[in-house]
Structure 1
Amino acid sequence: MGFRKLFASLGAGGASVDTIITEPNVVPGGIVQGEVRIQGGSVEQQIEGLSVGLQARVEVEGGENEYKQDIVFTKQRLGGAFQVQAGALHVVPFGLEIPAETPITH
């Protein structure tokens, strides 16, 4: 059993996380609704925290150089620590407000 916990801490046989958005078409100032689904792996695991956020890929100019960088521009914590039992499904719903200054993507 000790090896399974070690492997899970390295990602093998550990919990998997999937974020589901119920309506992908959201405008700045709106709220994106969804849920985070955590499927337990082969051993129980302690989750220290859970959050969702939005990020944008932006062009950064510095001197004569230009490069792209991912920037997180809003983030919401979805509760504290909890345990996910082996094989169990843990679902956390959320509503994340989209800032009014969010760039429009198409």
Structure 2
Amino acid sequence: MVADGTELPVDERDAELYYRPTTRPGSRLPHAWLGLADPREPSVSTHDICGHGRFTVLTGINGAKWADAAKRVAEELGIPLTAHVIGPEQEYEDLYGDWA
């Protein structure tokens, strides 16, 4: 886990019984089905495009500059880091609005 320096929020409900989706660093990534730019390809999960021994930056179309910065950092530092922009006319689309 890589912490972001903030305190972990306290769950008001039993965490074993109730899942609270969050994108806080170190938390389980929320699942959402994503469509690919080629509609003939099957849908993929956010879990399919993240992890696998590398850091991943996910952003919406307004965060494309974050994705560009992540790619530059990965090249400059030689670290395993990928970035994906999720949204209309991007490599991945939010099929059901679950990611948003």
Same fold (TM over 0.5): no
Structure with higher helix content: 2
Q: What's the TM-score, normalizing by structure 1?
A: 0.22
Structure with more contact order per residue of length (Cα contacts < 8 Å, sep ≥ 6)? 1
Structure with higher strand content: 1
Larger radius of gyration: 1
Q: What's the TM-score, normalizing by structure 2?
A: 0.22
